[in-house]
Amino acid sequence: MKLTVNGIEQEIFSPPLTPLLHVLRDELDVTSPKAGCQQGGCGTCTVLIDGEPRRSCLTAVAAVDGSEITTLEGLGEPEQLSPVQAAFHERYAAQCGFCTPGMVVAATALIERKGGPVERDEVLEALGGHYCRCTGYVKIVDAVMAASRGQTGAREDEPETGEEAPVMIPGSPA
Ligand code: FES
Ligand code: FES
């Protein structure tokens, strides 16, 4: 079997019924998809399969042989975050971070599908079934809406260039 994972073609040696989640994490060391419920109910294992968000815990690898898989690692670089990644970072939409990869991947698919600004109810629908144990839903939805509007980068509440940055207390204020 073969998969193209984040643009790199990979030969897969796991048994055909192995969940894609475990192929990614255990065979390929792609660890952003998280093993949450492993029953399709929490969304934290979500990846893009040929551009569509899917639960990798419920997907046998043989069923997606030849597909293109995109995970959080394939969306941006540490120095060049994708719009959704940047919005999550800037708007404190990640707390423990466990749900974040699935949320970001699903939100990215929503924005690409819409091709323009997404509204709150659209975000709620697209992220329905994605559970955040830290309950940071308000900031997550705000971040997705901001990303869809290109509202990433310097924010109004950030100091002007040349001003001293405020002292930050470690940890999320969310
Ligand atoms: S781990 Fe796949 S939906 Fe929960
Ligand atoms: S940020 Fe902790 S589960 Fe969502």
Q: Say what the pLDDT of residue 92 is.
A: 95
Mean pLDDT for the stretch of residues 39-68: 98
pLDDT at 162 over 80: no
Topology of domain 83-148, CATH: DNA polymerase; domain 1 (1.10.150)
99-157 per-position pLDDT tens digit: 999 999 999 999 999 999 999 999 999 999 999 999 999 999 999 999 999 999 865 55
pLDDT category of residue 164 using cuts at 50, 70 and 90: low
Residue nearest to atom 3 of ligand 1 (CA): 40
Q: Say what the pLDDT of residue 163 is.
A: 52
Topology of domain 2-74, CATH: Ubiquitin-like (UB roll) (3.10.20)
What is the Cα–Cα distance from 79 to 59, expressed in whole angstroms?
Answer: 32
29-50 per-position pLDDT tens digit: 999 999 999 999 999 999 999 9
Pocket of ligand 2 from Cβ distances under 6 Å? 94-100, 132-134, 136
Taking the centre of ligand 2 as the mean of its atom positions, its distance from the CA of residue 18, in whole angstroms, is 26
Q: Which residues pair with 52 in a beta bridge?
A: 49
Domain ranges within the chain, ordered by starting residue: 2-74, 83-148
Ligand 1 within 6 A of CB of 57: yes
pLDDT category of residue 158 using cuts at 50, 70 and 90: low
pTM of the model: 0.88
Q: Say what the pLDDT of residue 81 is.
A: 96
Taking the centre of ligand 1 as the mean of its atom positions, its distance from the CA of residue 55, in whole angstroms, is 6
Of all helices (H) and strands (E), which one includes residue 74?
none
Taking CA atoms, 143 is separated from 78, 85, 102, 118, in Å, by 18, 9, 14, 11
Ligand 1 within 6 A of CB of 38: yes
Mean pLDDT for the stretch of residues 79-99: 96
Taking the centre of ligand 1 as the mean of its atom positions, its distance from the CA of residue 21, in whole angstroms, is 9
Mutation pick for ligand 1 pocket among 32, 42, 49 (CB with most ligand atoms within 8 Å): 42
pLDDT at 79 over 70: yes
What is the Cα–Cα distance from 133 to 126, expressed in whole angstroms?
Answer: 18
pLDDT at 1 over 70: yes
Taking the centre of ligand 2 as the mean of its atom positions, its distance from the CA of residue 44, in whole angstroms, is 9
Q: Say what the pLDDT of residue 172 is.
A: 46
